Structure 1
Amino acid sequence: MCRKYHIFWALAPFMAILLAGGEPKKIIVFDTIDCAIKSSVVSKAVCQLYSRTEFTVFLTVGEKKQADKVYGACEVNIYLKRQKKITRINNLRLDFCQLKKQSESPSLLGMYYLAIRRSIVGFPKKCPFKKNTTYGINRLHFDSQEVPQYLPEANYSFRGKIYANDELGLEIKVTGGYFEVANDAAYRKPLL
């Protein structure tokens, strides 16, 4: 009889975690987002955090001419917890003209394509992107099932440059982290 009570009290913390929000899982969190228009290829841009796990980017192609070639060049700096070393990933290239044609691949780049494809608004099936038209990525987020759980916890900074017709049009900077949380409901609440 005494043994049953010991087992109950030993398992109580685990039961509390399960009742509070389930098993701990790793999620990607966004702290800041900033956009800067770099040329007349983009006439307007709006970037904002919807919640700590979702962000939105809308841009309007300029009035001069349509964009026959649209791609992004990205770099990511990863700051692992408890380490001073910075891991840099340079020259990740995302082709927005071929976005809907990309196959599913079990890789980090495939994870980005999947999240972007799920969030796009008004994108054409293939180029050109029409002039004076607004395109967007609405509430981009990464599902915890898509994010490799073996990756270590880290902070990161992301810098993406969007090119249209080989001319830099927009620069996006995002900071955040990759953390393990027991309950992600607080992170998913919309920001005011």
Structure 2
Amino acid sequence: MFRSYYLFCALFVWISLAVGDSKKQIVFNSIECSLRNNVFSKSECQLYSRLALNVFVTIGDQKAADKMVAVCEVDLFNNGHKKVTRIKNLRLEFCQLKKHTETRSLQGIYYLALRRAAVNFPEKCPFQKNTTYSVNRLHIDWKEAPQYLPEANYTFRGKIYANNQLGLEVKLSGGFYEIANYSEYKKPLL
């Protein structure tokens, strides 16, 4: 009886200490969206918290989107280094979002986060006209982010194409930091 009690107490203390440890987390500082064509009739981008964001887009009334692709670029500014690391041509196929496998790569991390946050995305294309699609509370969990990467600031730029036309540009800035007070960063900004 005493042995199981002490094992339970030891497990509880270990979990409490592990939860309190700081972990490297992807943090968002700002987000900007701008329409570039009449493919989308409306867009809204906002930070939900420092760890999550929301994006709402409405497909225009002219034509359904048979193909939707994001072409992204990330600039990493490592702390203590002057050199910028640039990752170009990350392609995210929104029509294949539900089918894509969970690979252990930067692109796999994006797909996993998008799949969790995509609220009303179709199983396959087309994205219907006059319909608002949302990405709600998109976040990348610390368990998915490679903890061995150095802390860095980043700028993420994405161009979203629908029917081979540039419809939306998204610019996101933030960092990959070790944070000790997770609950403070998780609080809604609204």
Q: Which TM-score applies when normalising by structure 2?
A: 0.90
**Counterpart in 1 of 2:149?**
151
Cα separation, 2, equivalents of 1:94 and 1:139: 18
**Counterpart in 1 of 2:34?**
36
2:58 counterpart of 1:60 = yes
Residue segments in structure 1 that go unaligned for 5+ positions in a row: 1-14
Cα separation, 2, equivalents of 1:49 and 1:23: 25
Change (3 A) 1:122 1:20: closer
SS in 2 for 1:114: helix
**Counterpart in 1 of 2:128?**
130
SS in 1 for 2:98: helix
Q: CA deviation at 1:19?
A: 6.1
**Counterpart in 2 of 1:172?**
170
- After superposition, give the CA deviation of every residue in 1:103-159 in whole Å (9 maximum; x if it has no partner): 111111101100000000111000001111011110000111111100100000000
Aligned residues: 176
**Counterpart in 2 of 1:3?**
none
Cα separation, 1, equivalents of 2:18 and 2:146: 23
Q: Which runs of 4+ in 1 moved over 4 A?
A: 18-21
- The AA in structure 2 aligned to 1:157 is T
- The AA in structure 2 aligned to 1:70 is M
Residue of 80, 84, 87 corresponding to 1:86: 84
- The AA in structure 1 aligned to 2:138 is L
Cα separation, 1, equivalents of 2:132 and 2:28: 24
Residue of 161, 180, 187 corresponding to 1:189: 187
Residue segments in structure 2 that go unaligned for 5+ positions in a row: 1-12
Give the % identical residues: 60
- The AA in structure 1 aligned to 2:97 is L
- Please report the RMSD computed on the Cα atoms of aligned residues, expressed in angstroms: 1.4
The range that moved more, 159-168 or 21-30, is: 21-30
Q: CA deviation at 1:178?
A: 0.3
Q: Which TM-score applies when normalising by structure 1?
A: 0.89
Cα separation, 2, equivalents of 1:145 and 1:39: 37
